[in-house]
Amino acid sequence: MVFSSSDGLICVNILPDAISEIKKEILVHYPNETGGVLIGKYDENLRLATIYLATESPKDSEYGATAFKRGVNDIVNNITLAQKKLSTELHYVGEWHSHPNNSPAASPTDLKQMQIFAKTNQLGISVPLLLIVGGKPPLGLDWQFSLHRYKKKPSLLLPLK
């Protein structure tokens, strides 16, 4: 599945394994929100991110019908395992979480958290991606990416049809 900014300058390609993991996690935790991290890499021009893996939610995460707090257990270990298994070029590129029965639009809480991640270079990246999957599983899911820079408006990336 490929996503693009309206100007076509930023694109994300999320591979089938990552999509499958996200769908599986959403079904397991529905009707609560869930989430995890996105593992991938950018091309040499930093315009295309490819997402190879999406992690399941860490065991210390907190789930609710309208809120999700991603835990931290095993995040670094999951990234290291992905690097050993697939490629040393893979790294943390952002976050994903669900908005069950709702829009995939980022909430004010989501935007605030992504600003903190951008400011603090969360897991080594200063321009993190956020994927929100809204709707009702399994078939009624809507996907939306956004790219976050510190003190700047996020860039929305919508699926290419």
Q: Which residues are designated catalytic? A: 33
Rama region for 52: left / alpha / beta (φ>0; ψ in -120 to 50; rest):
alpha
Q: Which structure tokens are listed for 98?
A: 């669900």
Q: Please give the Cα distance from 92 to 6 (Å, whole number).
A: 24
DSSP string covering 37-52, please?
EEEEEE-TTS-EEEEE
Contact 29, 63 (CB under 8 A): yes
Q: Which residues are within 8 A (CB) of 120 and not within 5 positions of it... i.e. 6 or more apart?
A: none
Q: Which structure tokens are listed for 65?
A: 């019908």
